[in-house]
A and B are shown apart, each in its own frame.
Chain A
Amino acid sequence: MRMPTHLTGILLAALGALGSDIACAEPPESRQAELMHLLTQDCGSCHGLKRRGGLGPALTQEALKGKPAVMLREVILHGLPGTAMPPWNNFMSTQEADWMVQMLLEGRTDAP
Chain B
Amino acid sequence: MRPDSRLMVFLSLAGALLVSACATPRGTGDLGIVIERAAGSVQVVETTTRTRLAQVSGLGDLSHASVVYSRDARYAYVFGRDGGLTKVDMQRRRIDKRIVQAGNAVGGAISQDGGLIAVSNYDPGGVKVFTADTLELVADIPAGSGDSARRSKIVGLVDAPDRRFVFSLFDAGEIWIADMRNPHQPRVQKFSDVGKLPYDGTVTPDGRYYIAGLFGEDGLALLDLWQPDKGVRRVLDGYGRGQEPLPVFKMPHMDYWAQSGGLAYVPAVGRHEVLMIDQKNWTESARIAVAGQPVFVIARPDGRQVWVNFAPPHNDTVQVIDTLSLSVVRTLKPGKAVLHMEFTPRGENVWLSVRDENRVDVYDTETLERVTSLLADKPSGIFFTARAQRIGQ
Contact = CB atoms under 8 A, between A and B. Distances in A.
A37 B248 CA distance: 19
Interface stretch (B18-26, B239-247, B383-391): B239-247
Interface stretch (A11-19, A22-30, A50-58, A64-72): A50-58
Nearest to B238: A1
Interface string A65-91: 000000000000001001010111011
B76 interface: no
B251 A45 contact: yes
B337 A41 contact: yes
In this complex, which of B81, B244, B270 has the most chain A Cβ atoms within 10 angstroms of its Cβ?
B81
Contacts of B63: 44-45, 48-50, 54
Interface in B326-378: 337, 355-356, 378
B61 interface: yes
Given A53-B122, A54-B63, A3 B247 contact: no
Interface stretch (B1-9, B178-186, B211-219): B211-219
B115 interface: no
Contacts of B106: 54-55
Contacts of B269: 2
A4 interface: yes
Contact of B312 (A42, A48, A55): A42
Contacts of A91: 312-313
Interface string B122-157: 110000000000000000000000000000010100
Interface string B235-269: 00000100011011111000000000000000001
A53 B37 contact: no
A42 B249 contact: yes
Contact of B215 (A37, A53, A84): A84
Nearest to A42: B312
A10 interface: no
Interface centre among B37, B153, B216 (most CB of A within 10 A): B216
Interface residues of B, number: 39
B249 A54 contact: no
A46 interface: yes
Contacts of A79: 247
Contacts, number: 80
B122 A49 contact: no
Contacts of A84: 197, 199, 215, 248, 251
Contacts of B123: 53
A49 B37 contact: yes
Q: Which of A2, A41, A50, A86 has the most CB of B within 10 A?
A: A2
Contact of A48 (B104, B217, B337): B104
B327 to A, nearest CB: 28
Contacts of A50: 61, 63, 81-82
A46 B337 contact: no
Nearest to A47: B63
Contacts of A4: 244
Contacts of B378: 41
A46 B311 CA distance: 13
Given A41-B355, A49-B61, A54-B81, A86 B104 contact: no
Contacts of A1: 216-218
Contacts of B248: 84, 86
Interface centre among B215, B240, B244, B249 (most CB of A within 10 A): B249
Contacts of B38: 40, 49
A99 B279 CA distance: 49
Nearest to A3: B216
Contacts of B337: 41
B98 interface: no
Nearest to A88: B249
22 contacts: A1-B216, A1-B217, A41-B337, A41-B355, A41-B378, A45-B250, A48-B63, A49-B37, A49-B38, A50-B61, A52-B61, A52-B104, A53-B123, A54-B104, A54-B106, A55-B122, A55-B170, A55-B251, A84-B199, A84-B248, A88-B249, A91-B313
Given A2-B218, A42-B250, 17 more contacts: A1-B216, A1-B218, A2-B245, A42-B312, A44-B63, A46-B251, A48-B63, A48-B81, A49-B38, A49-B81, A52-B61, A54-B63, A54-B64, A54-B81, A54-B122, A79-B247, A84-B215
